[in-house]
Amino acid sequence: MCPSGRTKGYSSTNDPAMSIFRRWWARLPGAAPPGEAHALLFYVRCDRCGEVIRVRADRRWDLLQELGDGVTGYSLHKDVLGIRCNQLMRMVVRFDRDYRITQQEIEGGRFARPSEYEAAGS
Ligand SMILES: [Zn+2]
């Protein structure tokens, strides 16, 4: 089973307009990007040291299909490790068939906003 078909034609992500769009989209968890077909961005803050880590996932490789009566949705499971400490965070995000986020949780940390990531990085 292959989830592709609706994502044909997007091979380059180096379009500068696309990175602006991606930044915009990152503020709206749950909104499906019509242009950036594959990238999924999340920001998580480590509970132990406060480091904000950007997590990038790709729909093509990172999503698991949730099967019920056909494909009912997708899920993303990521282990996230920062550089400041060795706490491993376990992120689970669930999507419906249209790649809208229906549930997201993280063990050992919490979800952060892109602005928190930018503030921590400077
Ligand atoms: Zn940490």
Predicted pLDDT at 120 = 83
What is residue 107's three-state secondary structure? strand
Give the pLDDT confidence score for residue 8 in this predicted structure. 47
Ligand 1 center to residue 25 CA distance, Å? 26
Q: Does the structure show a pLDDT above 50 at 30?
A: yes
C-alpha 61 to ligand 1 mean position (Å) = 26
How far, in Å, are 74, 92, 94, 96, 119 from residue 68 at the CA level?
11, 19, 14, 12, 42
Residues lining ligand 1 (ion), CB within 5 A? Answer: 46, 48-49, 51, 82, 84-85, 87
User: pTM of this prediction?
Assistant: 0.66
Q: How many A from CA of 81 to the centre of ligand 1?
A: 8
For residue 112, what are the contacts with CB-CB under 8 A and spacing of at least 6?
43, 44, 45, 52
Domain segments of the chain: what residues? 16-121
Partnered with residue 39 across adjacent β-strands are: 58
Lowest mean pLDDT among 6-15, 59-68, 91-100: 6-15
The predicted pLDDT at position 38 comes to 87
50 CA distance to ligand 1 middle (Å): 6
Q: In 27-72, where does DSSP find H-type helix?
A: 59-62
Encode pLDDT of 98-122 as tens digits. 999 999 999 999 999 999 999 987 5
pLDDT in tens, 45-57: 999 999 999 999 9
Of residues 59, 42, 62, 64, the one with CA closest to residue 109: 42
How far, in Å, from the CA of 111 to the mean position of ligand 1?
13
Q: How far is the CA of 121 from the centre of ligand 1 (A)?
A: 14
